Homo-oligomer: A and B are copies of this chain.
Amino acid sequence: MKTLIVVGHPDLDGSSTQAFLQASAAGVPTAQWHPLTLNVAAERQALLAAERIVLQFPLYWYAAPAMVQEWLATVWTTRFAQQLAGKSLGVVVSLGRPLRDFHPGGAVGVSLDALLSPFAALAQTAKMTLLPPLAIAQFAYQIDAQRARLLVQYQQYLGLTVPSSFSAQAAWWQTQLAQQPQAALLAETLATRQARLESLRATLAEVKGDD
């Protein structure tokens, strides 16, 4: 699956979040890191060649930055959008506030889903499959363990057909681990556990079928 990462950040070189994501994306051979431009023909060609389009930006005053809106208005016209039907659309958004602020009663008072609803509408209009957003809150304050988890989540978001499926994630881990000889044993253990889990699930389905 080819993935195009459309990066819209007003200060790309100064962003440690984006530097981290770019390094992480380099580990996904099928994903293309693509800071957006307003070259309409080139942008459209890149969009058409991808199966998944990931829009990636920081939230500025609770919305996508001006450059993303400009890009949508220029490149992604209503007519062109018709050619994107069937592709999947992801949104990777970085936040300067903690996630708990994005709730009624929280400091922002509005859910992140509501703030990102323009992209739900965009996906519906273009007949694309919307992925749940990947939100990165306060990257600067994240400790190493959180960043290690983010790397995995992000790579899966770029590379897995259904990033939220548990079995797809387990398969992804096996592939990753198999590539590192010292981790072969761990990969084998994981494969065994996954097999047992599937066997248990099958048994459970049979039991339920008996009701």
Contacts and interface: CB of A to CB of B under 8 A. Distances in A.
- Taken together, the copies of this chain in the complex come to 2
A176 interface: no
Interface of A: 10, 60-67, 69-70, 72-73, 76, 107-111, 114-115, 117-118, 120-122, 124-125
A21 B60 CA distance: 28
A99 to B, nearest CB: 14
Given A109-B124, A124-B108, A118 B66 contact: no
A31 to B, nearest CB: 24
A69 B73 contact: no
A72 B67 contact: no
Contacts of A67: 66
A62 B109 contact: no
Given A110-B117, A114-B117, A118-B115, A64 B60 contact: no
A117 B10 CA distance: 22
